[in-house]
Structure 1
Amino acid sequence: MERMQSCGVEPDEVTCVNMVAACLRSGDVETGLRIFNGMSVPSLASWNAMLSGYSQNGYHREAVMLFSEMQFRKARPDRTTFAIILSSCASMGLLEGGKQIHAALWKAELSMDLYVTSGLIAVYSKCSKIEVAKAIFNMAPKYDIVCWNSVLAESVAGARRFFNMMVCQDLVTWKEMIHGYAQNGRGEEAVDLFRDMIKASIEPDHIAFVAVLTACSHSGLLIDTGLKVFKSMQQEYDVEPLSDHYTCIVDTNEVKEIIEKMPYKDDPIVWEVLLSSCRVHGNVNLARRAADELFRLDSLPHIPSS
């Protein structure tokens, strides 16, 4: 931007917004703030870029202060503004701030907007106001994956209560609930829920299998349960295993036999992922095999593109 000015070209609003966003994405909050403060009348896009940068870099208190300044200067927030500031309030567990923003949402007629509903749920859940979060969740006109993730992100037991209350549980909500159990090391509950999903005639896809296999891996259930689930993918559900599924079973005794049948032997990404997983699980023999395969692929002649 300085070079532009030295050439006699003054940056416009679009330039400034892009510069602020670029600085904040790279973690240079100080420069981004300096550019922002140099704007006489920042546009809404500028405010949102600055708020987003603060939030993404963990400057949540600064984001809340900037939002207050935005209101003082009569700048009208939109759904993006509210979603960003609610995220910062949730990160700090700032209940009073969340309540104030909730009130502002009613005034702006955005309280039922799905984009901000998930943010409200996250704030109230983070502050242990589960009943309020549940009421907001129940009032949503529909549930999207962001809204469901906001519920899941706070304590798994509460998420399960939400899940059980849902009138219509689609594949997305089943997968997210299983994933929630997996991330919290509750493998048996994840497997039980996976089985309940099958009983409910919901066909699992490759993401559902990743979730349940991850749960098995994190909970020491791979040798029996995990391998059965893995083998059922093709045999019962016609789902072709991908690299993510193979990496979930790296620390099982049967992994060598499974890898031999893997259809992705000439895909370096598969071996790179397996090598990385071997480091985590300490599987030296498979790590050596993965490294050998990578050397083999690297030595193959490259066919020039036409």
Structure 2
Amino acid sequence: MPSLTEKLNQHGFESNDDYDFQVCCLLDTPTNGIRTLNIEGDGERRKTAFAQALARALEFSHILYHDFTDTHPPLPDVILPPSRDELGREEPPIEPFDRIVTEACAQSEGDPTALILDQLQAADFREHMRLYRLIKDGLWEVRGGSYFANPNRLLIILISEQPLYHALRQESFRLWIGRQSERQLVYHPVDFGLGPEAQPVFDALTQLFEALQVAPTRREFTRLLDDIRRHVRTVEHLRLSLYGRLEAIEREALGDPRLRGLQDQILEATQHWLIAEHIELSDDRPDPNQEQR
């Protein structure tokens, strides 16, 4: 069975970090209200990618998403005609936020449902307090109507670029998503089906990653390695490939003169590796004279 990390990767979120423990605490600890995950960090939209991938990895039947900074939210599947009160006054349409929370409550009555609320810092503070009541009591009120959520089937995921309202933080499990993985993996040639002649290239890359303070994922490293093997022949090539393949790398850092020596070392090690590969391939070719005999 695929691990949580593998499932997150399949659904668009790559990381060297393992989130099994945090998700276990979130889902397997008894609670009196609705389980709520508060995603913090400096990962910008990586937090959104994690929320979406986590909901899919956990196989929620319904995944509802609302961004408070979206000025043009998608239209609902069913558009109701304007309603009027007892005095004949036309009531305004239900706000997208109210509509999606109401839908989440309804869906949770029958199926596992994830509600992702993004960019919560842009919401009115009164909405924070309404969310707190929903998490505590499972109740959402819209224009005098009450909607109840099933706490056993609803997961709420909150994403904000600023600290949450204190009461919401108290009811949430916090999880940090950084702009890159915190765990630095050390890769070896054998992991990629390569021989020991590639080891100097791996060592030189590891030193550069440490100097740049980046932690590439396996897929990022694999693609970078393919570039180095097939295309990279100059320092400029190397910098372009590093920037193109590693999400967390800063373009300005690659031009730091203090890193030039490490970059030259990678190119030199690559040249020796490619020569060794060429010689090995030449030795493996059959002797035409032997075939004639």
The normalised TM-score by structure 2 is: 0.28
The structure whose residues are more often helix, as a share, is 1
Query: Which of 1 and 2 has higher RCO (CA within 8 Å, sep 6+)?
Result: 2
The structure whose residues are more often strand, as a share, is 2
Rg larger in 1 or in 2? 2
